[in-house]
Amino acid sequence: MKKDTFTFTNNKTNESYEFDILEGTRGPSVVDISTFYKKTGMFTYDVGYTSTASCRSDITFIDGEKGELLYRGVAIEELAENHTYLETCYLLLNGNLPTSEELLDFDLELRHRSFIDENLKHLINSFPDRAHPMSILASGVSALSSFYYEHLEDTNEDMRQEMARRIIAKIPTIAAFSYRKSLGIPEIYPDIDRSFTENFLYMMRAYPGGKMKRTKDGSNEIKEIEVKALDAIFTLHADHEQNASTTTVRTVGSTGAHPYVAISAGISALWGRAHGGANESVIAQLEMIGDVKNVDKFIERAKDPNDNFRLMGFGHRVYKNFDPRARALKKLQDQLKDELNLDSKLMEIASKIEEIALKDEYFIKRKLYPNIDFYSGVILTALKIDRPMFTPIFVIGRTVGWVTQLMELQQSSEFKITRPRQLYIGK
């Protein structure tokens, strides 16, 4: 069967060149320009890679126009509402949701792998007090390559799975230790009797000796609704196709670097304000607005072409419709407000902004819908999680996506070092 082709004509020389059109199972077709330079003597120019497919992948699919996100063909709404984060991890790593027995084995393995080497704990403690948890986390993950030195490029699937499960299990512990170091308080070791997400909250909140604060009614401070909410946040952040941090992980991984070094590079990329740090910016802006009565004024500023003020948490590089992750978080936010009797000032301000923006022609015309960052920061604040931990929580959720993408790269027949070219404009 003859392949569909794309013809490129150079009007300067009147020469034409043909390139194959590749079809995926979903989404836009792709023009294979891997031989473009060889045939034409030119490079393509695509700042920010807005029109470039960098790899073949069967992990995650996004339709930005429809507002659709699928992990291994399963809709994100289905996973967030009806499955746990660990089920989602298993799905991404293995291509299918686990049976009850497989989930039990997976859960137990992660619980027992959650402890970190004591020498790594000493490294974390060597950081100055008040260091940002993200800097400690990135360094701690990079240091894991010293404790588990095998490169794993040519090893079997079992070894890759072991590498993946180890990092997924240890990231929450390193994140919690980093947080407590930033506060100058003693770390809390993992409790293998607790689930993945509850254990992270426990390591964040417990007092030395493992004691938990009790609420006025005598119940445990970690409520089921809090675990459910944070678990859903992990799920919604688990993967998002070839974003900046995932591309960083794949780029570093393409050099043959240790997998944990590649993950550490992804953590550093995620820390950027335009990427994983965006939800911190949302909260900072809500605090700056200060009161519901000020919302109209800031909405008008956002619409004023002569004002450089930008409303944080609206719009997305890929989604030109409602971010499906944001829809799921909106439901969670409403549930938290009811079940935890929350009526915080930040929630009031956020709700007012949302109400106005979803009806305002300016935002509708430009397809500026609330994104995941708009809701996640408010929910994490409701869970009494300090702002410096917002991005580390993103890291915990995204680790499974990074490591799955890295494994896919390592097993690809098209594996090669990433090496873009440039348009030189110097002397």
Instruction: Indicate the average pLDDT of the chain.
Output: 90
Residues 6+ apart with CB under 8 A from 58: 72, 95, 408
Residue 339, pLDDT above cutoff 80:
no
Please confirm, yes or no, whether 132 is among the known catalytic residues.
no
Q: Name the phi and psi angles at 251, rounded to 5.
A: -65, -50
pTM above threshold 0.85? yes
Amino acid (1-letter code) at residue 230: L
Residue 215, pLDDT above cutoff 70:
no
Measured between its terminal Cα atoms, the distance across the chain in Å is 49
Q: Among 83, 237, 316, 323, which one carries the catalytic annotation?
A: 316
Predicted pLDDT of residue 41 = 92
Mean pLDDT confidence for 181-197 = 94
Instruction: Name the one residue in this structure whose structure tokens are 């944001």.
Output: 326
Residue 129, pLDDT above cutoff 80:
yes
Domain ranges in the chain? 5-44
- Domain 5-44, CATH 3.40.50 — does that match? no
Give pLDDT tens digits for 234-280: 999 999 999 999 999 999 999 999 999 999 999 999 998 878 777 78
Measure the CA–CA gap between 346 and 284, rounded to whole angstroms: 10
Residue 153, pLDDT above cutoff 70:
no
Amino acid (1-letter code) at residue 37: Y
For residue 36, the Cα-to-chain-centroid distance in whole angstroms is 33
Q: What percent of the chain has pLDDT over 70?
A: 95
For residue 399, the Cα-to-chain-centroid distance in whole angstroms is 8
Please confirm, yes or no, whether 296 is among the known catalytic residues.
no
Residue 194, pLDDT above cutoff 70:
yes
Q: Among 231, 239, 323, 373, which one carries the catalytic annotation?
A: 373
Measure the CA–CA gap between 75 and 337, rounded to whole angstroms: 25
Measure the CA–CA gap between 342 and 334, rounded to whole angstroms: 9
Predicted pLDDT of residue 216 = 58
Mean pLDDT confidence for 187-194 = 95
Residue 60, pLDDT above cutoff 80:
yes
